[in-house]
Amino acid sequence: MPSTWSHPPYSPHELQKVLEKKLGPEYISTRSGGGGGGKLTYVEGWKMINLANEVFGYDGWNSSIVSLTTDFMDIDQQGRVAMHVTAVVRVTLVRTGVFHEDVGNGTAENSKGKSATLDKCKKEAVTDGLKRALRAFGNIMGNCLYDKVYTRDIHKVKIPSVR
């Protein structure tokens, strides 16, 4: 059965133009970097999924977990858990078969319980890998966040308030 694409199909040239655009401030979040490293600029996972649906169509892309590895899990004498998980995630465009893969990381330190910690780290690693794989498609998918001038200047833009 042939697939119908939910989004008006872009020509390759039109899609390239869309992917070259940079993210608006409404997509961007910041948090403090660990170890006094200043502010980190990022896009939340749910926003990135919504953006991919908008750009590629809800059925115009898919993702898959290529690998998921628990790199280490340490439990101290008080039962606190430290863990690191890596996930390789592939994002594929349905119409063309073009794909990008990248690795994501999930970490926890000083956590209670192995099961909850493993669950948190897996989700974090897969979401990170998804966002990193999507960014390889272009600026609008998050690649612009690696441009230091852009990230410095975008914080100066006021986001209109919703009333």
pLDDT at 9: 63
**56 pLDDT more than 60:** yes
Torsion of CA 16, 22, 35, 38, to 10 degrees: 160
pLDDT at 10: 76
**1 pLDDT more than 90:** no
Q: What is the mean pLDDT of the chain?
A: 90
d(CA 109, CA 107): 7
> pLDDT tens-digit profile of 62-103?
999 999 999 999 999 999 999 999 999 999 999 899 999 999
Of 126, 122, 145, nearest to 43 (Cα)?
A: 145
pLDDT at 158: 74
**44 pLDDT more than 90:** yes
Band (pLDDT 50/70/90 cuts) for residue 162 is low
Token look-up 């690998």 returns: 67
In the DSSP assignment, the letter for residue 59 is T
pTM of the model: 0.88
**Cβ neighbours of 65 (radius 10 Å):** 15
> pLDDT tens-digit profile of 100-136?
999 999 999 999 999 999 999 999 999 999 999 999 9
**Burial grade of 91 (CB within 10 A; 0-12, 13-18, 19 or more):** buried
d(CA 75, CA 45): 29
Contacts of residue 55, Cβ cutoff 8 Å, sequence gap at least 6:
7, 15, 18, 19, 140, 141
pLDDT at 4: 52
